[in-house]
Amino acid sequence: MAELGKKNNLTVIKSLDFGVYLDGGDLDEILLPRRYVPEGCTVGDQLDVFVHLDSDDLLIATTDTPKAMVGECAVLKVVEVNQIGAFLDWGLPKDLLVPFGEQQKPMQVGQSYVVYLYIDQASERIAASTKLDKFLGDTSPYFKEQQQVDLLICGRTDLGYKAVVNSSVIGLIFNSEVFKPIQIGQTLKGFIKRIRPDKKLDLCLQLVDRETLDALSEQILTFIKAQGGQTILTDKSSPHEISQQFGVSKSSYKKALGKLYKKRLINIEKQLVSLIKDVPKNG
């Protein structure tokens, strides 16, 4: 059975001058206009097509792939706002509607937004929403700690950045884990740092294993020695200052300082980190 708003593998059941009809199962026959029909296509062939609604709200297929499908999140640009809502460019001739009731805040022409695509139950049309929390949860049994994931940055809070994880749930990257500039709508690789007792996901942009932590600790030690045995770059410094010097998150830097402190190689004060005096200055 064909699914609206998704890619489908459908069988050609009829060929006419203006296109071919595909077997849509419970959705009945679906037209694939001639301009999308592959050369040499005949009845019985199977085609990968995207099923959507045309400007007359009739089912139609295309071999083009939109920028996002139903059940996915994407960053799409507003091309029009009228009395119905905002319309987004999603790579198909008919623009994608975001009803006013599905807008977190009024959307502006020319601006891009992170949206979730869904089927509107009342109209049975494909639509989009900026109210991601309405469609995506913040817990899932399908992730494990240290797992690499795809992230889509979707919001900012006092604690850090909210991100859609593998197009399925929303997690949080704490400010202390951010070591490079990131923006709303940016896609990047990340990791599940921790699954909290309430099953919510804490995310990070880099994993710090023992080997990486050892290397960072040595780098910090070398830096402090080069600064004459002390530095004002402490565990209270900003993530930006730490990232500028070491290219790591504040969380990783604090772990490395803690490692050096436990080895009694450094003293950590409120505004100063210093070598313990019996540590040789040259290694």
- pLDDT tens digits along 22-67: 999 989 999 999 999 999 999 999 999 999 999 888 999 999 999 9
Helix axis angle, 210-226 relative to 239-246, nearest 10°? 90
Q: What is the pLDDT of residue 283?
A: 47
Q: Sign of dihedral through CA atoms 9, 11, 12, 18?
A: negative
CATH number for 220: 1.10.10.10
Q: Say if residue 45 is in the same domain as residue 77.
A: no
Distance CA 16, CA 41 (A): 12
**Which domain-ending residue is among 106, 133, 160?**
133
Inform me whether the pLDDT recorded for 209 exceeds 90: no
How far apart CA 211 and CA 266 sit, in angstroms, is 20
Torsion angles phi and psi, residue 23, rounded to 5: -80, 105
pLDDT at 280: 54
Q: What percent of the chain has pLDDT over 90?
A: 72
Q: Which tokens is 144 given?
A: 């494990």
122 shares a domain with 104: yes
**Same domain (yes/no): 270, 222:** yes
Indicate the residue among 173, 188, 204 that finishes a domain: 204
Q: Looking at the domain assignment, is residue 143 inside a domain?
A: no
| Reduced 3-state DSSP string for 121-183 | CCCCEEEEECCHHHCCECECCCCCCCCEEEEEEEEECCCEEEEEECCCEEEEEEHHHCCCCCC
User: Looking at the domain assignment, is residue 152 inside a domain?
Assistant: yes
Q: 167 lies in a domain?
A: yes
Please report whether residue 15 resides in a domain: yes
23: domain CATH number is: 2.40.50.140
Total domains, the chain = 4
Q: CB-based contacts of 281: which residues, under 8 Å, 6+ apart?
A: 225, 229, 275
Q: What is the pTM of this model?
A: 0.81
Which strand (E) or helix (H) includes residue 100? Answer: none
93 and 126 housed in the same domain: yes
* Edge-to-edge strand list for the sheet holding 266-268: 230-231, 273-275, 266-268
* Residue range 120-144: mean pLDDT, rounded: 94
Percentage with pLDDT > 70 across the chain: 98
Would you report the helix, strand and coil content of the chain in percent, each value rounded to 5? 20, 40, 45
Tell me: do 217 and 271 sit in the same domain.
yes
**Range of 173's domain?**
148-204
Beta-bridge partners for 127: 97, 118
* Whole-angstrom distance, CA of residue 92 vs CA of residue 66: 6
Average pLDDT over residues 225-238: 90
> Which among 140, 128, 124, 110 has a CA at the least distance from the CA of 27?
124
Q: Is the confidence at residue 229, as pLDDT, over 80?
A: yes
Asked whether residue 283 is domain-assigned, the answer is no
